Amino acid sequence: MTEIDARLRENVHLLGQLLGDTLRTQLGEAFFDKIERLRLGAKQSRQGSSEGAEQLSATLDGLESEELLPVVRAFSHFLNLANIAEQYHQVHRRQPGEAQPFELLALPALLEKLLASGQPAELLWQQVSALDIELVLTAHPTEIARRTLIQKYDAIAEQLAQQDHSDLSAAERERIHQRLGILVAEAWFTDEIRQTRPTPLDEAKWGFAVIENSLWQALPNVLRQADRALQAATGQGLPLAAAPIRFASWMGGDRDGNPNVTATVTREVLLLARWMAADLFLRDIDELASALSMQQANAALLARVGDCAEPYRALLKQLRERLRVTRSWAEQALQTDIQPPPEVFQDNQSLREPLQLCYQSLHDCGMGMIADGALLDCLRRVSSFGLFLLRMDIRQDSARHSAAMDEITAYLQLGSYAQWDEPTRSEFLLRELDNPRPLLPVHFQGSAETMEVLATCKVVAEAPPASLGSYVISMAAAPSDVLLVQLLLKEAGMQRPIRVVPLFETLADLENAGPAIDRLLGLPGYRQRLEGPQEVMIGYSDSAKDAGTTAAAWAQYRAQEALVAVCRQHGVELLLFHGRGGTVGRGGGPAHAAILSQPPGSVAGRFRTTEQGEMIRFKFGLPAIAEQNLNLYLAAVLEATLLPPPAPQTAWREAMGRLAADGVAAYRAVVREDPQFVAYFRQATPEQELALLPLGSRPAKRREGGVESLRAIPWIFAWTQMRLMLPAWLGWETALDNAIRRGEMALLKDMREQWPFFRTRIDMLEMVMAKADATIAQLYDERLVADELRPLGEKLRGFLSQSSAAVLAVTGQSQLLSHSPQTLESISVRNTYLDPLHLLQVELLARSRSKPANASGTLERAMLVSVAGIAAGLRNTG
């Protein structure tokens, strides 16, 4: 088997050694020896040694109760340190002759390829300049690590970078190792589990920290690289005002099933974003004012500042004072509702204009090299982040809007909106949208839920336009869902258009998405209220939970095809918003492959997607990592726009239809129709205990009930903990087996070879299969599941084996991931530390369930740390 790169292995070994030193110092040599016996036993057991398995079991059985927590913490910390080493290795210093990462070469290589294929240079320049990619950061509760630990992890990565020089002296290397030892010890002595659940405001601050610590630096670097690549390929650089990548957020705006996100919270987060933006730009302006000490300026700049010795500084000082006033006002407005003074910045152009004046003057006076330094970076940030840092989306469930309107129509004695059919609703809403008089009297007082919906609309109506993204409607199904939000916003005093976005989530709603948008675009007056493109959100999480990934993936694909055709027919631009998660079960996977597998025509220079949970840290936590991922987005969206995949052949479509039908039937036969399934799920997984984790501000459930009431995240998170990974693959085993029995193997291989959509699905399925582990899942069953439910677990593990065999048959491999030996080796190394954690988690779950009333705080904490450790080891957990 191919070994992990030597430098990565050295870093993992070094960090593990430093953690061992800390353990020895605090807990003693005898305890550390137990840790080593557990590690070696797990390693040998994985290699098939019965002696190793016995050693692992005996050492675990011999642990005292007070040793459980430190043992769990030790293995959890090692997995986090391995993550740091792996993450840094992606961006490590390349030695002479060593190839640069694919991510950094993707855009220049693509531009060369496009030119060679006959694409005109002018067209390429126009397409790159007009790219519109928006990454929407969400607050979904899969980020296990506390922010204080994340900061220590980042500091460890920085020290790994410091030591990545061949010319370090012995003293310099020793200082770095000493600093690493201190940081590892600091992490060990820091509580990894939050004591309290974060508030929506805390989540927003965490998102702002990602901007401040990473993306603020990474984005200008990416645009600088794109500018060079574009200049080399077309002779023209990226326009000054171009913003091919922007960021938005659901933090503080996503109220779907989260009662903690209120109108007050949304207002506070919007103000916090303005404070943070002003503060970050103040730092930039301070540096520019220090650097731009030149005297020579063009006439336009001198006309602005008058006759002075340092015209650039004079203008920047004016700018700095306005930013200070803006920051001060935002801080005060968080405490009390005060009107902004005239000096407060209200729009991005007022910040951009003086900076652009300085930029043009420097170029006019022969100082273009200076202009294209920090000043250009600042201008790029104005275009991408602006005064509001990142645009906030609002999200609410369609049922909340309907309930509010039902209360309003009852109050106005117009009947029950809830009982009206779709034509009656649409007719009423269109009539009221065109009516100049208000629908609601000022003194209207509804229920608390209705007043909260109206208060949210009021905040949206009063917010600066550039501070908001879209208003997303969860569980949308019909045109009236969109019209209703437009009417509620009109009633709140909204004087400008905002994108109101239906989110189609269930299998039935995805299949109805095209007809629904067709009816919407055909309604009288709707097109006049449409601002820019028609945005539609495709739900990945709930559709997969509803129907399984086989049917959901095909439904998502066909929904996009239908939407492209409908919008083309109506002459309306379409913007698809992809609600992807971190895991395969929620639409996750490598973004580059996912974008290139979209239906032709669905990525037309625009792409909007969620970045969720812990994947935000893994993809954007370090500036260099963020640069790689942002480069991939640029290249993938450009390639999908100019070199879209071919439309699937009729035979492929028919085969995928059969796979989807078989997949959904098999999935629902287990999840919905097996009367033992819910009981088995709750016994075999730590689903109940996950509710104890103070991960995010949202409740784990939308309402009381069974699996259908669970959010997609804890549903998948629970199965991941015990390594069955069921939501990501259930249904594929039957779908693929049936196809093979029908004699369609050659067709399946052809689809995988020539159809990016199908290839990506199989590749993601293969990755899940490699991380799943039936042996570990069986341990959970044997210790935690009632005798009468164990046959179901055995059946599910059989399905897992069946799915793996089918994937291997389609790929023609003898082993999963044999084409990616380094990934396979990485999983293998992690299993050495994951196996003891799984065994300890099983024991901790059994103990806490047998005597829940007597469960100690230490026992509960150990169990929660095991959850965090397994999540760290498997990474894409939610």
Residues assigned a catalytic role: 140, 545
DSSP 710: B
Place of tokens 């000082």: 317
The closest of 40, 5, 56, 16 to 838, measured between CA atoms, is 56
The distance of Cα 260 from the centroid of its chain, to the nearest Å, equals 21
Pairwise CA distance, residues 725 & 153, whole Å = 28
Contacts 24+ apart (CB under 8 A), 357-364: 357/300, 357/301, 357/304, 357/315, 358/288, 358/292, 358/301, 358/312, 358/315, 358/316, 359/240, 360/298, 360/300, 361/297, 361/298, 361/300, 361/301, 361/311, 361/312, 362/292, 362/294, 362/312, 364/298
Q: Taking a C-beta distance cutoff of 8 angstroms, is the pair 622, 215 a contact?
A: no
Residue found by looking up tokens 């990592």 in the block: 625
Contact 23, 74 (CB under 8 A): yes
Q: Can you read off the two tokens belonging to residue 104? A: 């950094």
Query: Which residues are CB-neighbours of 673 under 8 A, at least 6 positions away?
Result: none
| Helix 745-754 and helix 756-771, axial crossing angle in degrees, nearest 10 | 100
Q: Do the beta carbons of residue 214 and residue 232 sit within 8 Å?
A: no
Listing DSSP states for 249-312 in one string gives E-TTTB-TT-TT--HHHHHHHHHHHHHHHHHHHHHHHHHHHHH-------HHHHHHH-S-S-HH
Angle at 761 between CA 768 and CA 677, to 5 degrees: 55
CA gap 243, 770 in Å, rounded: 39
Find, among 817, 803, 825, the residue nearest to 767 by Cα: 817
Cβ neighbours, 10 Å, residue 793: 23
DSSP annotation of 465 reads G
CB atoms closer than 10 angstroms to residue 164: 18
Question: How far apart are alpha carbons 722 and 837 in whole angstroms?
Answer: 10
For helices 6-27 and 170-188, the axis angle rounded to 10 degrees is 60
With tokens 């929904």, the residue in question is: 559
Which residues face 472 on adjacent strands? Answer: 395, 501
Pairwise CA distance, residues 335 & 337, whole Å? 7
Q: Are 508 and 555 in contact (CB under 8 A)?
A: no
State the amino acid at position 610 in one-letter form: T
Element (H, E) at 829: helix 821-850
Quick one: which H or E segment has residue 865?
helix 857-874
Instruction: With beta carbons less than 8 A apart as the criterion, state whether 505 and 555 touch.
Output: no
Count Cα neighbours of 381 within 13 Å in the Cβ-side half-sphere: 28
> And the tokens for 108?
């220049």
> What end-to-end distance do the CA atoms of the chain give, in Å?
29
Amino acid identity, position 415: G
Is there a contact between 311 and 301 (Cβ–Cβ < 8 Å)? Answer: yes
**Residue 141 backbone phi and psi in degrees, to 5:** -80, 70
